[in-house]
């Protein structure tokens, strides 16, 4: 008697399997709440407005409360504040018990901790609007200052904190690199777009009669040390033990300072050459209140503030402290329930 052939399971093509596996990820992306997108747009609007405001002061000088740059800043703050405020109302009055259990209670309302931080930041920004002149200070970022010791000391104190926080706090690989890419894209966009608009100074004394909006400085080469930081974070793993993070902070501080110092030192040399005086790099662009002279093609403060082993040692110590604080911040962000 012939055996009855058993039905075999249909073979699923490889492409179909990949499509099926990708559906949960696509579904999660589509399920992201709308207020995350509005908050992201608001944050971007604030960053663009701040850099635009700096260019406005460097080109025109005189401004009012209603300048486009100020409006971009206020729009970003209001949009983020309203979005998270609505989230608080929806969670308080229409949220499920599970939603309310993952929130912080404030004045009878419930919302995630991050939402309250955004709301408070919006209120603080709007109430201090008349005093907004320039939030971001680019005092040490000119290419002419990048052969001085203070530039590397200040950079070592600031950037490792941000890069390590992004690398550890982001729930994906290459968090520091993507943060540096975002910074670079934003700065390059304004660097190339702002000079397309004609403008003239309105506040005396005018030493340099500019005719177009002043471009912001070419972004620092933070992508390179960010890559080094991400590789180290992946090598050390995701654990946040004090000993492991202490060693990681030291390694990240050394990697950041070594890569950043070499890359920025050599790039600063290039930025003072005629090859960088074009629309792409926007070198040799100065504000209306600068007296144009030969100083613009030289490095500043190299005699009174040289790069020495002592200053590099100070920069390393500050970078290590900054990196350790960044890891603490990133660990906290990673533990926050979203």
Q: What is the pLDDT of residues 222-247, one digit of tens each?
A: 999 999 999 999 998 766 588 899 99
Give ∠ CA 287-56-71 in degrees, rounded to 5. Answer: 170
- The span from the CA of 116 to the CA of 112, in Å, is 7
Written as six digits, the tokens of 270 are 């290039």
pLDDT exceeds cutoff 80 at 126: no
Indicate the range of 55-64, 69-78, 117-126 predicted with least confidence: 117-126
Please name which of 201, 204, 219 lies closest in space to residue 260, comparing C-alpha atoms: 219
Please name which of 232, 125, 132, 90 lies closest in space to residue 174, comparing C-alpha atoms: 232
Please name which of 35, 270, 234 lies closest in space to residue 147, comparing C-alpha atoms: 270
- State the pTM of this model: 0.68
Indicate the range of 85-99, 172-186, 313-327 predicted with least confidence: 85-99
Confidence at 151, pLDDT banded by 50, 70, 90: very high
The average pLDDT across 178-187 equals 89
Of residues 332 and 165, the one with the higher pLDDT is 165
pLDDT of residue 21: 44
Contact 292, 281 (CB under 8 A): no
Q: What is the pLDDT of residues 188-227, one digit of tens each?
A: 988 999 899 888 888 778 888 889 888 888 999 999 999 9
Q: What is the pLDDT of residues 291-312, one digit of tens each?
A: 888 899 999 999 999 999 999 9
Of residues 121 and 136, the one with the higher pLDDT is 121
The domain spans of the chain are 32-136, 139-338
Q: Side-chain half-sphere of 2: how many Cα atoms within 13 Å?
A: 3
Contact 294, 207 (CB under 8 A): no
């Amino acid at each position: 008697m012939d055996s009855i052939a058993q039905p075999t399971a249909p073979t699923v093509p490889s492409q179909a399997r990949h499509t099926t596996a990708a559906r949960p990820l696509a579904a999660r992306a589509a399920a992201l709440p709308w207020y995350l997108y509005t908050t992201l747009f608001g944050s971007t609007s604030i960053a663009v407005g701040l850099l635009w405001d700096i260019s406005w002061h460097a080109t025109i000088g005189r401004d009012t409360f209603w300048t486009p740059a100020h409006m971009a800043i206020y729009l970003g703050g209001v949009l983020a504040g309203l979005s998270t405020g609505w989230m608080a109302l929806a969670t308080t009055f229409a949220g499920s018990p599970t939603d309310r259990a993952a929130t912080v209670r404030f004045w009878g309302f419930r919302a995630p901790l991050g939402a309250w931080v955004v709301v408070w930041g919006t209120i603080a920004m709007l109430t201090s609007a008349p005093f907004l002149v320039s939030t971001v200070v680019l005092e040490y970022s000119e290419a002419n200052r990048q052969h001085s010791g203070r530039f590397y000391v200040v950079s070592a104190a600031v950037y490792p904190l941000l890069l390590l926080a992004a690398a550890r706090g982001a729930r994906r690989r290459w968090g520091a690199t993507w943060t540096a890419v975002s910074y670079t894209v934003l700065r390059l966009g304004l660097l190339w777009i702002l000079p397309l608009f004609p403008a003239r100074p309105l506040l005396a004394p005018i030493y340099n009669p500019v005719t177009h909006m002043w471009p912001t400085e070419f972004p620092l080469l933070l992508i390179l040390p960010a890559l080094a930081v991400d590789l180290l974070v992946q090598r050390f793993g995701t654990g946040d033990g004090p000993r492991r993070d202490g060693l990681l902070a030291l390694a990240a501080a050394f990697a950041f300072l070594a890569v950043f110092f070499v890359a920025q030192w050599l790039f600063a040399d290039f930025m003072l050459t005629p090859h960088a005086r074009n629309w792409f790099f926007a070198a040799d662009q100065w504000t209306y209140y600068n007296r144009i002279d030969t100083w613009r093609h030289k490095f500043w403060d190299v005699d009174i503030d040289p790069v020495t082993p002592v200053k590099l040692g100070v920069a390393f110590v500050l970078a290590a402290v900054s990196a350790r604080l960044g890891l603490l911040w990133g660990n906290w962000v990673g533990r926050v329930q979203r």
